[in-house]
């Protein structure tokens, strides 16, 4: 067997050690990783550019539409405001109490032997309160006043809700008046009328044919 002498052993060992240098291997690994990372970064950057392009396209589309949308929104808000304001105003208008028909109904109840000296009407929340003062004349002046009260109840009952017509005072007077040539006794009355405005509103109507005739 031939003797084999390796005189370069130390040199070869050093070269092998250089090749297995961990720092060098580490640097290679880091380099590879770095290259991968850069590639991935570039790929992401490319995608981001694509997204930026899409964004600018969408922004452009929106810029074209935005003024129209803003104007439409503004107009919608304005119209909604008009609708709601009109609704509230209509509510106020519809819930008004009309005094014209009421005064007309009262005029139908007053005969020649009665005279109203004052009418004072107030609207309190959803209630109408009217104080009527007057004089009635006749052989039975109290009956004449009561007839006026009955007639008021009859006239107001169908048009309004929860109608109450009550005497506050009814007293005979010493004064005598002449009606149609006859002397009549007189009575002073104060009538309180109250009703709710929640009922169907009375509409202005033509004068009713019924007229009370004076009592002798």
**Measured distance CA(36)–CA(53) in Å, rounded:** 26
Question: Is residue 96 part of the contact set for another protein (CB under 8 A)?
Answer: yes
Beta strands in 18-146 (DSSP E): 114-124, 127-138
Q: Which is nearer to another protein, 58 or 176 (CB)?
A: 58
Do residues 180 and 214 lie in contact, with contact meaning Cβ atoms separated by under 8 Å? yes
- Binding region for another protein (CB under 8 A) out of 115-123, 138-146, 175-183, 188-196: 115-123
Contact segment (CB under 8 A) with another protein among 56-64, 142-150, 160-168, 174-182 equals 56-64
Q: Is 53 exposed, middle or buried (0-12, 13-18, 19+ CB in 10 A)?
A: exposed
* DSSP string of 111-158, one letter each residue: -TTEEEEEEEEEEETTEEEEEEEEEEEESSHHHHHHHHHHHHHHHHTT
CA distance 140 to 112: 14
Using CB under 8 A as the binding rule, whether residue 208 contacts another protein is answered as no
Binding residue (CB under 8 A) for another protein from 119, 153, 170, 173: 119
Q: Which listed residue (14, 30, 112, 182) binds another protein by CB under 8 A?
A: 30
Q: CB of 113: closest distance to another protein in angstroms?
A: 14
9 binds another protein (CB under 8 A): no
CB nearer to another protein: pick between 1 and 180: 180
Pick between residue 3 and residue 8 the one whose CB is nearest to another protein. 8
For the chain, the C-alpha Rg in angstroms (whole number) is 52
Cα 178 from chain centroid (whole Å): 59
Total residues belonging to the chain: 216
List the one residue from 14, 39, 48, 150 that touches another protein (CB under 8 A): 48
Binding site for another protein (CB under 8 A): 16, 20-23, 25-27, 29-30, 33-34, 37, 40-41, 44-45, 47-48, 51-52, 54-55, 58-59, 61-62, 65-66, 68-69, 72-73, 75-76, 79-90, 92-93, 96-101, 103-104, 107, 115-123, 204
């Amino acid at each position: 067997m031939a003797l084999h002498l390796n005189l370069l052993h130390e040199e070869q060992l050093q070269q092998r050690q250089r090749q297995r240098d961990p720092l060098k291997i580490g640097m290679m690994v880091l380099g590879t990783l770095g290259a991968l990372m850069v590639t991935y970064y570039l790929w992401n950057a490319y995608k981001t550019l694509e997204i930026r392009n899409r964004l600018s396209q969408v922004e452009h589309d929106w810029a074209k539409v935005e003024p129209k949308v803003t104007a439409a929104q503004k107009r919608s808000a304005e119209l909604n405001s008009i609708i709601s304001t009109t609704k509230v105003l209509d509510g106020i208008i519809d819930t008004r109490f009309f005094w014209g028909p009421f005064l007309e109904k009262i005029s139908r109840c007053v005969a020649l032997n009665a005279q109203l000296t004052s009418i004072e009407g107030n609207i309190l929340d959803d209630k109408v309160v009217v104080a009527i003062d007057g004089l009635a004349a006749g052989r039975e002046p109290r009956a004449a006043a009561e007839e006026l009260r009955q007639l008021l109840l009859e006239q107001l009952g169908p048009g309004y809700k929860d109608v109450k017509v009550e005497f506050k005072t009814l007293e005979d007077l010493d004064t005598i008046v002449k009606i149609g040539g006859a002397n009549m006794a007189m009575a002073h009355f104060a009538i309180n009328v109250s009703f709710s405005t929640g009922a169907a509103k009375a509409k202005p109507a033509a004068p009713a044919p019924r007229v009370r005739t004076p009592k002798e």
